[in-house]
Structure 1
Amino acid sequence: MSLGDDHQSSGGYGGAGQTRTRLPDGDGDGHGTSRRGGRSSSRSLVTMVGVVVLLVAAIAFANRGGDDSAGSDDAAADTPKTSATAPSGTRPVQAGFAHDAQGAQSAAANYAVALGSDGMFDKAKRDAILQAIIVPGRVADFETTLDKAYSPSFNKNVGLNENGSAPKGYTFVSRTSPIGTKVTERSADSATVEVWCSGLLGLAGQNSTSPVTNSWFTITMKLEWVNGDWKIVTHSQKDGPAPIPGDDRASSADEMAKAVQEYGGFTYAR
């Protein structure tokens, strides 16, 4: 069970809070998923141990049916009129990722989204995600490592309650957006993929001591083809490449919280 390679999704974990994205197509090796550079040690820890919920959402959608046999004109006519946070696709992913270089890149991009989501701060969601995206033989190791990392003291250190929930009046933001992918090694049943990402992390709200900030980082994943799909064997992260910051005015805490609530996170990339 996983995301497919037809580049579509109709929702995510949390239903109407999800949207769809699609990165440019190309040949499998021509694209150029733990965490964020330039932050406190606690933020670095989030990025290094992350693995998540949006993926679980997309996986759930993969079990739904649909029919994309209509032509492009019909598809355009049938496009639903939705709110900003509603799913934009009309047909969910049907099967796992393709058994080729592009399929490995698609898997890595989506796993990067999972690695950076707020679902990792919830024990039940985190375990479900690990079961879905990690090779079976490594799941127990990942669970042990992440249970230690996402401790009550760690949650408090990033501004959350001990159980990983956001304090009343605040909106917790943890999102990763893939910018591009690159295969660095490949064999018939394994691939090493680098995913260049941008991420958001912090608490949106008045008087927040951990305001939402942006970072740039690259996640390297070693994937194996197991039981008909790509699964993570190992993953690591390094800072950058980071562009020169622009002249954008930083939004207020209220503006940021509103944006997070109104714009759903992505469930399917590439």
Structure 2
Amino acid sequence: MSIGEDGGYGDDRGSGTGQTRTRLPDGEGDPYSAARRSRSGLSSRNLVTIVGVVVLLIAAIAFANRGGSGNSETAAGSGDSAKGPAAAQPTAPTGTKPVTGKNGGIASGFAKTQQGAESAAANYAVVLGSTNMFNTDQRHQIVNAVMAPSAVAAFQDKLDKAYTPDFFKNVGLKPDGTAPAGMTFVSRTIPVGTKATAFSADRATVEVWCTGLLGMAGDGSTKPVTTSWFTITMQLTWTGNDWKSLAHSQKDGPAPVSGDVPASGAKEIAGAVQGYGGFTYAR
């Protein structure tokens, strides 16, 4: 579930006699300390480091130039089903606007291309993970906006059975799905990247790697806002001159190692949620 990076360890070499040596703390008389290493060894290591940095810089510049070469439509996928889905290109935006309109405040009018399908999946993942889903009327509007007509009834029934007073209680809400007085309910899905695993003229399967926020911000909250990492797989179909979702599933991860940034207070989190809006996501 978590993706971690193992820290490296030093290499204590023997003298060639097969003996095992123990590295003592600095200043405690280790006869094999770094002070006895030759200057030529240190110089060699510095040289290798400098050369490595230069190579990385050259590679980064070449990659950046390739991303801005004007061939961005190919990088993001031209919609040629014969060649299959293109590889992910997170640093090569196409420059094409993701949508031309909106439907009830939800992005709509995605292009009939692989890029359009990926953009649709990312934006639909956001709205399906929003606080509006905890209100029955708003949830029904969302489902009708993002789901294919043939999938609306079944998906809406499934969600209505999931969003129950018991579920609301588990996340800190009142039985009617509203936040207690003085509290700010937080539910946000933030796409990190997308990948089309299948694409044809009228069907697409897109994976959306996301991080999310869920919880209650406020003094005395017993359900503090926490983060999670998950991947949504969405099956899309081209209908009504737009991409619509037929079905979607979710699995945990990939999750990075947590950083060392101190957690903010409830008031600061509530202010951030109320003060920072969302985005229209493009591929």
TM-score under structure 1 length normalisation = 0.67
Residue from 73, 78, 87 that aligns with 1:30: 87
Q: Relative CO higher for 1 or 2, CA cutoff 8 Å, sep ≥ 6? A: 1
Map of 2:269 onto structure 1:
256
Matching residue of 2:281: 269
For structure 1, the 5+ residue unaligned runs are 1-23, 33-56, 63-92
AA partner of residue 59 (structure 1): N
SS in 1 for 2:175: coil
Q: Quick one: distance in 2 between partners of 1:234 and 1:255?
A: 36
> Per-residue deviation at 1:58?
4.3
One-letter identity of the residue aligned with 2:87: G
Q: May I ask how many residue pairs the two structures share in their alignment?
A: 191
Q: Note the C-alpha offset of 1:153.
A: 1.6
Equivalent residue for 2:252?
Answer: 239
- 1:31 shift after superposition: 2.8
CA RMSD of superposed structures (Å): 1.9
Match of 2:145 in 1: 132
Instruction: Check 1:241–1:142 CA distance in 2 against 1; reply closer, same or farther (3 A cut).
Output: same
Report the identity percentage: 58
Counterpart of 2:134 (choices 117, 121, 124) is: 121
Contact 1:192 1:223 survives alignment (8 Å): yes
Query: Which residue, out of 188, 212, 217, partners 2:230?
Result: 217
- Alignment check: 8 A CA contact 2:102 2:109 kept: no
Q: Give the whole-Å Cα distance in 2 for the aligned partners of 1:265 and 1:238.
A: 23
For 1:185-224, list aligned pairs within 5 A.
185-224=198-237
Which of 88, 100, 103 matches 1:59?
Answer: 103
Shift of 1:176: 0.7
Gaps of 5+ in 2: 1-71, 78-85, 90-100
Name the aligned partner's letter for residue 121 of structure 1: F
Q: Distance in 1 between matches of 2:138 and 2:237?
A: 23
Larger Rg: 2
| Runs of 4+ with deviation above 4 angstroms | none
Deviation at 1:237, TM superposition (A): 0.5
* Other structure's SS at 1:127 match: helix
Contact residue 104 and residue 145 of structure 2 kept, 8 A: no
Q: Name the SS for the 1:179 alignment partner.
A: strand
Residue in structure 2 matched with residue 175 of structure 1 by the alignment: 188
